[in-house]
Amino acid sequence: MSDDRIPVLIGTGQLVERDVDPREATEPLAMLEKVARDAARDASAGENLLRSIDTVAVLNVAGWEARNPAQVVGEKLGSHPKHTFTSEMGGQIGVTAANLIAERITRGETRIAFIGGCNNMRTLMQAMKQGVQLDWTVGGTTDPEMIGSAEPGSSELEGKYGMVMPPDIYPIFENAMRASRGSDLETHRKSMGRLFSKFTDVAAANPYAWFPVARSAEEITNATPNNRMIAFPYTKYLNAVLNTDQAAGFFLVSAEAARSLGVPESRWLYWWGGAKSQEEAWWPSERPDFAACPAMLDAHMGALQNAGVGVDDIGRFDFYSCFPVAVEMALKQLGIREDDPRGFTVTGGLPYGGGPASGYTLHSIATMADRLRESPGMKGLVTGNGWYLTKHTASVWSTERKPGAAPTAEMPARRASHDRGLTTAPAKVDETATGPATIEAYTVLYDREGAPARGIVLGRTADGKRFLANTPADRALLEAFVGREEVGRSGTVSIRDGMSVFTPS
């Protein structure tokens, strides 16, 4: 590969808009224009950079119905991009898009690209509540290329038992993770609090964070009227915040383009490579081990391998952090201690930094660029996670150029999950399973008044069949259910009125 085709990030922009009336809120096009112009100023390239854009990727923006958002953004910036991209919705897609555009640069297919995204869920929700009609600019005369593909993240069967949204499903993995560690409930609660309290410290210092407030471990994990239990063991403060108005973007260009634009090399952030993978067991109820993520291991280790570095070579991390278990799983797969002094976020994470849905990892990459420029030569790892620990991606960045072979995002042929002997095949749920059984993972969903409302259980029958069931809808049973370790507990699965019911012994 020619040195001219080395991908470099040269400028970033971010935006947060809090507590604005939906009638006055900035629309997606204006948000993206602002972060792009800020990114051009950050690169010290200005209008010349904006007019020279040949590729625009605008990640999925919920509620924005423009035919080709990337074309509309490009034209607003004074360019006429030859290549336009949009994406599926997903927490992994920002890193996926960065890796894809970087590889296009190495092949000479793209010279100057703007990658941007925004999240306007707060405005959308407030507009619906107040009956306000949002008049967002649309447009586009061509169809953009799609990054990723849209598939449902959970099955109809899972929805039948209450596994519908992320707050319903991630706690199931959390409880399995705790049991795999052999921790008791109180020890694990304190561990989650310590982990995410450090995230709030980072958010408090981040001018683009949605909740720039430092919180103690106890404040995060203690259930109170302002921090109600959502699904055991997660309180509200342990959940990603969806309703934000934020935007982020950056310019990814060839080294030749950066030089021709006069961008100082002190602003260059080199892409060292990346990787992506997805779980073979797509549905969360069919994971062979609820405390392992083989595809996450493959993506993270694949990115490090492509970059030619190890975990110990990374100076800063931003692990996708929608819920504690997403971070805990990454640390487990990479063999990193939870008290590692390098920290695990540069933004403050999704519950505090905000920027969820498809846009969060653009904030991660943009903030990582700032942090790495403060520490020349340091390397940073940014990861993404889509659906329910289902789709995984990672990328490595540094202010220094990668030595040796050209960077790539192609998954290495030898996968880390195979080397570790991890099981990847789905454990199919048997809807007819009955009889003696044992719990593998579980959660209890709470109502808005803070009362336990529905128990969800996954496990195996005595003859090895995977089952998915609810507990009896008995408040005393549910209150007892969250008061002790239930993973490994025995009971009986039966079918009542077409539903599988697990009754503890």
Q: For 113-161, how does the pLDDT look when each residue is reduced to its tens digit (9 = 90+)?
A: 999 999 999 999 999 999 999 999 999 999 999 999 889 999 999 999 9
- The average pLDDT across 378-398 equals 98
So what's the pLDDT on residue 296? Answer: 98
- CA separation for the pair 456, 471 (Å, rounded): 6
Is 22 in a helix, a strand, or coil?
coil
CA-nearest of 266, 304, 493, 323 to 407 is: 304
| Domain formed by 3-134+242-399, architecture | 3-Layer(aba) Sandwich (3.40)
Domain with CATH 2.40.50.840 in the chain: 435-504
User: What confidence category does residue 414 fall into, taking pLDDT thresholds of 50, 70 and 90?
Assistant: confident
Domain with CATH 3.40.47.10 in the chain: 3-134+242-399
Is the pLDDT score of 1 beyond 80? no
- The average pLDDT across 363-372 equals 98
So what's the pLDDT on residue 179? Answer: 98
Q: Give percent of the chain above pLDDT 90.
A: 97
pLDDT (tens digit, 9 = 90+) per residue, 10-44? 999 999 999 899 999 999 999 999 999 999 999 99
Lowest mean pLDDT among 10-19, 176-185, 404-413: 404-413
pLDDT (tens digit, 9 = 90+) per residue, 91-116? 999 999 999 999 999 999 999 999 99
Is the pLDDT score of 355 beyond 80? no
Q: For the chain, how are helix, strand and coil distributed in percent, rounded to 5?
A: 35, 25, 45
- The average pLDDT across 214-243 equals 97
Name the strand (E) or helix (H) holding 101: helix 93-106
* Token representation of residue 18: 């809090």
So what's the pLDDT on residue 111? Answer: 98
CA-nearest of 93, 60, 87, 86 to 391 is: 93
User: What confidence category does residue 357 fall into, taking pLDDT thresholds of 50, 70 and 90?
Assistant: confident
Name the strand (E) or helix (H) holding 25: none
- CA separation for the pair 321, 349 (Å, rounded): 5
pLDDT (tens digit, 9 = 90+) per residue, 37-82? 999 999 999 899 999 999 999 999 999 999 999 999 999 999 999 9
User: What confidence category does residue 2 fall into, taking pLDDT thresholds of 50, 70 and 90?
Assistant: confident
Give me the CATH code for the 435-504 domain, please.
2.40.50.840
* Token representation of residue 241: 């915040």
Name the strand (E) or helix (H) holding 145: strand 145-147
- Work out the mean pLDDT of the chain and round it to a whole number: 96
pLDDT (tens digit, 9 = 90+) per residue, 280-318? 999 999 999 999 999 999 999 999 999 999 999 999 999
In the block, which residue shows the tokens 């539903």? 499
